[in-house]
Structure 1
Amino acid sequence: MRNNVLAILALIVTTAMPAHADDRPVTVFAAASLTTALTEIAERFESETGIDVVLSFAGSSALARQIEAGAPADIFISANPGWMDRIEQAGLVEPGSRHDLLGNELVLIAHGGNAAPVTLDAQTDLAAELGQGRLAMALVDAVPAGIYGKAALERLGLWGQVAGQVAQTDNVRAALALVAAGAAPLGVVYASDALAEPRVSVVARFPAETHPPILYPLADLANRDTAEESAFVDYLSGPDARAVFEAQGFSVLRP
């Protein structure tokens, strides 16, 4: 009799449990420069699969520190290999899951849709271009876009001209917003950011040799492993995601 009661209880518990004991959505921590493209991709993925995706955008440095502190992210896409290195060295990356997903370009933008082009070389008087205004950049010692931008300006011999006029922001989209609003006449952002904002113009492109390659590594984090997050990782390398990324100014590195 006791065995029958236990069997009935087990059946009740099993029936009451959801199909997936861990049914929370896939949570993605991604660099702020991915906001426009990744939002569109996630919406398409959700529509096609019924799997919910939660996106959290910020500077890669801030996201990496949140992951280190135990934030419940499933996937991390950084705009800089260094911050992914830090997460991986801490043992927070699922072994074998890391790969370079995207590339990008670094550009100088100006307020307005028809700003005059600027020549970027060692003879450029960038301070004169700024006048009394500010050069909007992401944090130059922490956020990838700022790190790349400072490196490029130093390589061109222009950093000394403008270092005192740099308005540093928490992430690259905040720098873009300053220029779009006219609060700063010039800014350094990614090409993908400039495409997403009609109120700015690209007035120059930084030569690739002036800064380290701009790479976006992706990794599945080691806190849990589900079919849903694997499906989204695979989707990010598929043809639908590729089309969105390329339309937003990224180069897709993984076939």
Structure 2
Amino acid sequence: MPDFSPERTQIGAASGMGLAVAQRLIADGVRQIALIDLKDDTLVEASESLAVIETSVEVLHIAIDVSKEELVEQAVAATVEKFGRLDFCFNAAGISGTNAGIADLTVEDLDKVLDINLKGVWLCERAQIRQMLKQEMRELSTGLPFKTRGSIINVGSLCSNNAVVSNLSPYTIAKHGVLGLTKQDALDYGSQGIRVNCFCPGWISTGMTAANVERQGFLDNYLSRVPMGRWGSPEEVAYVASFILSDKASFVTGSSITIDGGLSVR
């Protein structure tokens, strides 16, 4: 189990993989956590679910649109004001967008997806890295003779590497961009004690994927390609995230980490 100190903080989300990661981090020892999502009511419910796991947890929830620069900056500042520093970040906000070929899409369709899935991640990561650069390097909890300023995971997709789903070009463009952003920032800030990795999950059972599958009617087609023959759960993503964010993964950065039940081997 990853060794998390109680004072470490994390920015996540209030549903799906983001919430599962937050819950796993609390179970693994984190005691101070900030959740950022669009709607306040879902954040309240998420906070309550964390308190069930550990009554002593301190939760800051902030309802913002991550595509708004000023709001993202304020959210990170509020987190640091309450908890003192920023150590672990999980950037999971995303939407699937309109299901149509490019010939039938509008610029507005493109902008809506890029604003959240790519620009939103870029804004969050920029604010997080700016804060981490202000922080003192700390010793690793593993006892290894190295130091760190923090760890970030950006949530990409199988669509970060390939065009997996038909008629979803804005989403695929954005997720390719998230992987590129991850690799660039891992290169630029690795020497300064900041690790950045990208998760590329396959068919994970969340509200967004369920709605997408129902709309497109391709469940049997795509799930039949998964060697394990089933959906993944957000909790399975969370176990991997808990390790990658922790000091036990101190030499892992710039990686594209696939969590897909073997789908990408075909």
Kindly indicate which of the two structures has a greater share of residues assigned to strand: 1
Q: Is the TM-score greater than 0.5?
A: no
Kindly indicate which of the two structures has a greater share of residues assigned to helix: 2
Q: Higher relative contact order by CA 8 Å / sep ≥ 6: 1 or 2?
A: 1
